[in-house]
Structure 1
Amino acid sequence: MPKSLDQLLSDAGLTASAPARVPVQSVTDCSRDAVPGSLFVAVRGTKTDARRFIPDAISRGAVAVVADGIDSMPEPARECLAARAGDVTLVAVPDARRALALLAHAWFDHPARALKVAGVTGTNGKTTVTHYLESIFKAAGLKPGVMGTIEYRSAETRSPALTTTPSPLVIAALLDRIRREGGRAAALEISSHGIDQARVDGLVFDAAIMTNLTRDHIDYHKTMEAYGAVKRRFFFSRAAGEEPRAAIFNADDAFSAGMAAEYRGRRFTYGIDHPADFAAFRIEEGERDSRFVMRTPDGGHCPVRLALPGRYNILNALAAAAAAVAMDIPISVIVQGLETMTVVPGRCQRIDVG
């Protein structure tokens, strides 16, 4: 259903003004996907400046363009906009990346507001934690969806992942699909690239999890300090109104534990080797499974049997349990969800060879 440009900007929380009469049929950040009535968001990428493709988007029927850096606009784009000023609206914003995220969620009528949304970041463990969360959500009857390194899926559809944390338009479309299918929860992997490139701006996470920080992605971030700084932004530098409702930190990881000590919002810690709100003891590690007793912040003790082996999977389970408690899911349901999750594709996956 088309939306008026001025209403779309207002719903996205963007202060830019636009003529009320401009109907928008779609929102895209790829000029090749523009159709008559499209709003084209021209994002300056790490390798390509999409403002170069403004003429292409307009030639395909775009009726409005959102862009930043107007003073440095490539000349062909500037000339095209000037020539089409009567029928193409230019919306100047301070940051086109953030504007894209806000517009994506506004276009789909803010589907995350109808869901419990957990975001998992950190170098290792994101995929397994989201799978544990999915299983917990299923046990709670929430018909969840998952987004991450392996695939993007709702209860009724799935597609291979292109990147761990995709474009805001893909994220918003997935959340909208989950909502339309009657789902009430989503577990999302949040990469450092996704944080740095504002792909998860505009989302409010009911639980945000920091698993750990180890050496990775130095090709992009250049230094471990820069890599860590991006992870911190997910917890400490969200825009007003977008702060996580609860933060979950790994007490056994020095970087994550340091963040926990600084964090002033609602937060839980988890760990095995260091004091934590959610802890595991009486650990029994087998070749095919893991058993432990989970201690919860209220002093409760819950025996848990995981179908996955390895101490690191106990930590992943504790992370998911902490997030689920933060989202008001009962402990009995959490244990059921942890115990019924049997496999994470490509993650210590058992293969029967006869």
Structure 2
Amino acid sequence: MIVADLINDVPMAKNGSGIPERLKTAEITSVTCDSRQVASGSLFIAVTGHAADGHSYIRQSLEKGAAAVIAEHIPCDLAAEDAKRIILVTDSRKATAAIASTFYGHPSKELTLVGITGTNGKTTITWILESIFKAAGQAVGVIGTVNIRYPGKTLDNPITTPDAVSLQRTLSEMKAAGVSHVLMEVSSHSLDQFRVDGCEFDAAVFTNLSQDHLDYHNTMEEYFGSKQRLFTDYLGPKTPSVINVDDGYGKRLADTLETPVIRVSHTEKTDITATGIKDDITGLCGTLDFKGARLQLNSALTGRFNLENILCAAGAAFALGLAPDEIVRGIDRLTRVPGRLEKLDTPLNRHIFVDYAHTPDALASILRTLSGRAPARLITVFGCGGDRDK
């Protein structure tokens, strides 16, 4: 693909001269914002990050054979001849997402893409939805905290939502592998940094909001504002949102959206709700109500928060056209979610759970859940990774 086609829709910097004529027809073999991955024919995008500035690696990238560079400014110590291979843009972060989507052929347009955001529950909801869609015969891909996975491949994922280039490449590879439905955890960082620009979502889910990432967002309002962007900036006028209105921020979000909203709750009558719930150490059972269609719920997952996760997943599947009986069948088939109140098989006469709770709200919720269901005393072992708050 040539440079002119790649950056056709990218806003140019006002102090630049557009695309140098000699670069317009340059063939690009790869796109990257990581100078270590630059090879002959690459398009290197210099992004100013929190730990490093990509503009400091422009010379190195050109020496490694980059055909062109996208940047917001030209380093003052760069040779004049090298400067001729730089295209100045207004925002290199936004440019990264737009260019990556174009380079990989806008893969999300041919996928059913569900974005899930919120402080807690994102990972569990992807696992529930994966089970639902698999039970309905769909080929499913997942991009999330635990890993990136699709039929025939499982990859480590160092961050919840990958950078824009990795994300578009992954979506392209999933499409090529025959995946039809992709479930993606969408972090507040990724929304704030425009990583999901270029993604066309078919549904979006809001789980809840509680204290987390205030080292990055400073205030809860900033944190909420980042999450809110998934619903206000990335959804089409007819694209459904599924929102947990048992959460205060969720209710606030649902009341302000002008796009279609499916409200879910286990405390009040909404579009999808749960009644007659029995919740003990072995799991959940009761009735799911899909706008009047009532079906039996059976799940190996336990706890009120997992009931909310089930409702969110059921809402997303329902919004995308699955029948209620298909949805409850998929929920029933899921027996565990790694690291999410995951019950371990053990020959001991004990109930042992593993959970990656890393926020005050999540840890408190898990302790409340287990203390109210434990047949004997509750023993807790926990650690704190740090750098999650002020």
Give the TM-score taking structure 1 as reference length.
Answer: 0.92
Q: Which residue of 1 aligns with 2:288?
A: 294
Number of aligned residue pairs: give it. 339
Q: Give, in whole Å, the separation in 2 of the partners of 1:310 and 1:156.
A: 32
Deviations 1:226-285 (A, max 9, x none): 1111111221234xx767811111110011111100110011110111332110001011
Q: Write out aligned runs for 1:219-234 (5 A).
A: 219-234=215-230
Matched, 1:187 2:191: no
Q: Which residue of 1 aligns with 2:338?
A: 345
Deviates more, 1:335-344 or 1:325-334: 325-334
Amino acid at match of 1:132: I
Structure 1 unaligned regions, length at least 5: none
Amino acid at match of 2:295: C
Deviation at 1:85, TM superposition (A): 4.8
Contact map agreement 1:43 1:51 (CA 8 A) in 2: yes
Deviations 1:206-231 (A, max 9, x none): 11111001011111111112111111
Q: Which residue of 2 aligns with 1:135?
A: 131
Deviations 1:31-82 (A, max 9, x none): 11100100001111122211111101101000111122x2xx4312xx23x2
Q: Say which one has the larger Rg.
A: 2
Query: Matched residue of 1:343: which SS?
Result: coil
Amino acid at match of 1:295: D
Q: Which residue of 2 aligns with 1:303?
A: 296
Q: Give, in whole Å, the separation in 1 of the partners of 2:237 and 2:128.
A: 23
Contact map agreement 1:235 1:243 (CA 8 A) in 2: no
Contact map agreement 2:132 2:326 (CA 8 A) in 1: yes
Contact map agreement 1:101 1:168 (CA 8 A) in 2: yes
Contact map agreement 2:141 2:183 (CA 8 A) in 1: yes
CA-atom RMSD in angstroms: 1.6
Q: Give, in whole Å, the separation in 2 of the partners of 1:352 and 1:286.
A: 17
Contact map agreement 1:206 1:244 (CA 8 A) in 2: no
Matched, 1:46 2:33: no
User: 246, 252, 259: which one pairs with 1:252?
Assistant: 246
User: 89, 100, 112: which one pairs with 2:96?
Assistant: 100
State the percentage of identical aligned residues: 35
Contact map agreement 1:212 1:253 (CA 8 A) in 2: yes
Q: Give, in whole Å, the separation in 2 of the partners of 1:245 and 1:43.
A: 31
Matched, 1:30 2:34: yes
Matched, 1:74 2:72: no
Q: Which residue of 2 aligns with 1:322?
A: 315
Deviant stretches of 4+, over 4 Å: 241-244
Deviations 1:181-215 (A, max 9, x none): 11101100011111111111111211111100101
Q: Give, in whole Å, the separation in 1 of the partners of 2:343 and 2:317.
A: 27
Matched, 1:65 2:69: yes
